Amino acid sequence: MAIRTIRKEKDPCLYKKCREVTSFDERLSQLIDDMFDTMYDADGVGLAAPQVGVLRRVVVIDVGGPEGENAPVEMVNPHILESSGTQGGMEGCLSFPGKSGYVERPNHVKVEACDRHGDLYEYEGEGLFARAVFHECDHLDGKVYLPLVKEPPADFKPEQEE
Ligand code: NI
């Protein structure tokens, strides 16, 4: 168990496309354990490997609560299979502390990904889980959420912070 340093703001690791994982070894397992520790320590609901300086396609997500049927989940080489609907909500990122903004995402997602052993699973979810999947998968392509921030609609009422 180890907490790794979260890369912030202008760190180049946040803006690079990550490579697929090809070795499902002890090192990957350690990375995933450390990513969970780092995410929980920072009170986050998701974390992508480039946020800890590793340019590989790995994310961890734990949205907890009533929407957390799938949680916690580790996704290695995730591929989004389907998305539908739209949701608007406040979004933040552990790499940009103190910031948040209104972002629209699909409301529903179906994604396939390997676990640390290389076994392939499918996950399906809505709301915050879907938002987390899109946010974290964007990280693997070197994309952060800030360019997606827009003005919320006039009738938008921010619920709790994500
Ligand atoms: Ni993020």
**Residue written as token pair 């948040």:** 100
First to last CA, the chain: 25
pLDDT at 141 over 60: yes
pTM: 0.93
- β-strand partners of 48: 59
pLDDT at 134 over 80: yes
CA dist 122 and 104 (Å) reads 23
**Active-site entry in 67, 112, 124, 136:** 136
Whole-number average pLDDT of the chain: 94
What's the mean pLDDT in 94-122? 97
| Residue 35, SS3 per DSSP | helix
Span from the CA of 56 to the centroid of ligand 1 (angstroms): 15
136: annotated active-site residue: yes
**Strands 46-48 vs 58-61: parallel, antiparallel or unpaired:** antiparallel
Span from the CA of 106 to the centroid of ligand 1 (angstroms): 17
pLDDT at residue 64, as a whole number: 86
pLDDT at 50 over 90: yes
CATH for the stretch 12-148: 3.90.45.10
Span from the CA of 94 to the centroid of ligand 1 (angstroms): 6
CA dist 71 and 147 (Å) reads 28
**Strands 58-61 vs 87-91: parallel, antiparallel or unpaired:** unpaired
Element (H, E) at 37: helix 26-41
With bands split at pLDDT 50, 70 and 90, how would you rate the model's confidence at 158? confident
Span from the CA of 131 to the centroid of ligand 1 (angstroms): 11
pLDDT at residue 69, as a whole number: 63
Span from the CA of 45 to the centroid of ligand 1 (angstroms): 9
For residues 63, 64, 70, 76, the Cα torsion angle rounded to the nearest 10 degrees is: 40
Element counts in the chain: helices (H) and strands (E):
2, 7
